[in-house]
Amino acid sequence: MLRCPRPVAEINQYLLEEYGIIGGYDLSQEYSDLGNAMLLCVTEMNTREEIDDLVDALSTYQQLIHAEEVVS
Per-residue 3-state assignment (H helix, E strand, C coil) for the chain:
CEECCCCHHHHHHHHHHHHCCCCCEEHHHCCHHHCCEEECCCCCCCCHHHHHHHHHHHHHHHHHHHHHHHHC
Q: Is the pLDDT of residue 43 over 90?
A: yes
Over residues 34-38, mean pLDDT: 96
Predicted confidence at residue 14, as pLDDT, reads 98
- How far apart are alpha carbons 15 and 7 in whole angstroms? 13
Categorize the per-residue pLDDT at 71 as very low, low, confident or very high, splitting at 50, 70 and 90: confident
* Boundaries of domain holding 59: 2-71
- For the chain, how many structural domains are there in total? 1
Over residues 22-36, mean pLDDT: 95
Q: Is the pLDDT of residue 68 over 90?
A: no
Report yes or no on whether pTM surpasses 0.85.
yes
